[in-house]
A = this chain, B = another copy of it.
Amino acid sequence: MNITVAVDCMGGDYGPRVTVPAVVDYLHRNPGIDIILVGLPEVIESELRAVKVAPRSRLRVHAASEVVGMDESPALALRGKKNSSMRVALNLVKSGDAQACISAGNTGALIAASRFVLKTLPGIDRPALAVVLPTIKGHTYVLDLGANVDCSAEHLLQFAVMGATLVSTVDNKEKPSIGLLNIGEEEIKGNEVVKQAAELLRGSGLNFYGNIEGNDIYKGTTDVVVCDGFVGNVALKTSEGVAQMLSTYLREEFRRNLLTKFAGLIALPVINAFKRRVDHRRYNGASLLGLRGIVIKSHGSADSHAFGFAIARAVDEVRGGMLRHISERVAQLPHPGKNPDKYSPPLTEESPA
């Protein structure tokens, strides 16, 4: 079966200038995938003409007349922009015309629209954002990254199930290990929610490693790191900050004088290999997990190389059958959610999350 994904072409800091070339490049490299380009047709067509060799047989343009601004209120966007590129792309997933949606648009608006259009899977109360991060050993998946600022222990358990399923599906690992992000390894550490979550995880049948600390993320101590969205977002942005500072320092030291500049010239291939290794573009594409459809959030500032990784992630999740696996795993929990068959809380356009 051919896989079809819907791309919100208007989202992100650069819109179609980045998304359209990324799609065309992806199609050239990946046979067996069809892509629906969603957005303002004239703008998309103009970008398609610019790339020239577009594989027209495997892509089509689907019109959406509105665009959600990067700083727009998610609630207002949900109420007011029913024909936005992001919303229309999600509708294509809901109708079955596409199996996944990729957007680099406004994160809050994408989450709100995804919940409203697709609803959550049985047993899942809230969707969560998961990213893959590099580690000393390889990589790890961290969730939630900001979709949920206040979480209960049950939510953290659901995040663990979704994270484990993501790793099984994408990395083909049978029993991924789960770490609970805390401020110490001992069971007595942390706040009440984290302590309760540890209790639930111990009885969940998941491969629960136990509490881990911030430095364990990059040590690669576990395959999955579970935390609430506030903590996860701070940890991710702090990591970016450290990396930026260290690379600034390194550059400054190499530029200090003629001698260090010469050393920099000699070391250039090594520095470039190092840079390629930590290139964050390779990790672009956060999975919005727990919905009745696959949704990938690309970084707003992604270039077309990075956006291609977000498309690839969506396709991997479709191929692996992730939605079915999440449902199966949630159903296997010894203590499933209070209403394992309920949809997400009634979310209307008049009272969005």
A residues in contact (CB < 8 Å) with B = 71, 73, 134-136, 146, 149-150, 181, 183, 186, 188, 190-192, 213-219, 227, 229-231, 233-246, 248-250, 253-254, 256, 259-260, 262-264, 266-267, 269-271, 273-274, 277-278
Report whether A215 and B241 are in contact in the complex, using a CB–CB cutoff of 8 Å.
Answer: yes
**B residues within 8 A CB of A231?**
230-231, 234
22 A-B pairs (CB sep. < 8 Å): A71-B186, A136-B249, A149-B190, A183-B237, A191-B230, A213-B234, A214-B239, A214-B241, A215-B237, A215-B244, A217-B238, A217-B241, A218-B244, A230-B231, A231-B231, A235-B238, A238-B238, A243-B246, A249-B278, A253-B271, A260-B273, A263-B266
**Bound Cα distance A264, B243 (Å):** 21
Report whether B245 and A135 are in contact in the complex, using a CB–CB cutoff of 8 Å.
Answer: yes
Report whether B237 and A214 are in contact in the complex, using a CB–CB cutoff of 8 Å.
Answer: yes
Report whether B243 and A214 are in contact in the complex, using a CB–CB cutoff of 8 Å.
Answer: no
What's the minimum C-beta distance from A78 to chain B, rounded to whole angstroms? Answer: 15
Report whether A183 and B149 are in contact in the complex, using a CB–CB cutoff of 8 Å.
Answer: yes
Closest to A276 in B: B253
**B residues within 8 A CB of A135?**
245
Report whether A230 and B190 are in contact in the complex, using a CB–CB cutoff of 8 Å.
Answer: yes
